[in-house]
Amino acid sequence: MKIIVVFVTTLDGKITKWGDPNVHRWSSQEDQTYFKKTWDESPLIIMGSSTFDFDPVKPSPKNRLIVLSRKPDSYKKYEVPGQLEFSDESPVKLTQRFRAMGYDRMLVVGGPHVATSFFRDNLVDELWLTLEPKIFGKGGNFVVEEELDINLKLISIEKVNDRGTMLTKYAVIKNS
């Protein structure tokens, strides 16, 4: 199963503008269209509870969304089996479960804590970053402050507007 982490970031690496988690206020229309298409084409999507709490996603038969939380029982009212589920599984256990179920791709879309945990456990195969030509100086990063040493190799880059927004895809170089 291929595990892909997807984020939009400024050139100085910020995923929030001064702490505001609403990327729709600052990301380009091209990124938003790309993200929606990527989401719609993904059968399995993982996000953290903070991302879900900010913008609760409605269940869809198009994909299965798993929200990671330390308290999954507190989200029971939102659950729709096979479409929207909440779990406290580790990234390793979650990956094993869905790999055994035959999923061939997992998209990790939200939350620096979730992304960091997948990177830390050496589970990520690709990183898809939209680079917006902006600098915020202050804001959140797509990984939390933790000692990581991840090497990447550029797979593709595409300029999608006149301002210079770029869709980039990187392969994670796995350490043996």
DSSP track, 12-78: TS-SSBTTB--GGGTS-HHHHHHHHHHHHT-SEEEEEHHHHHHSPPPP-TT-EEEEE-S-GGGGGGG
Number of domains observed in the structure of the chain: 1
d(Cα 23, Cα 46) in Å, to the nearest integer? 18
Closest CA to 8 of 171, 165, 161: 165
Least confident of 39-48, 54-63, 122-131: 54-63
Q: Per-residue pLDDT averaged across 117-122, rounded?
A: 96
Q: How confident is the model at residue 176 (pLDDT cuts 50, 70, 90)?
A: low
Query: Which CATH number is 18's domain given?
Result: 3.40.430.10
Task: Supply the range of the domain harboring residue 111.
Answer: 2-173
Q: Per-residue pLDDT averaged across 105-113, rounded?
A: 94
d(Cα 175, Cα 67) in Å, to the nearest integer? 28
Closest CA to 142 of 132, 155, 154, 157: 132
Note the pLDDT of residue 19. 82
Share of the chain above pLDDT 90, in %: 88
Q: Per-residue pLDDT averaged across 120-130, rounded?
A: 97
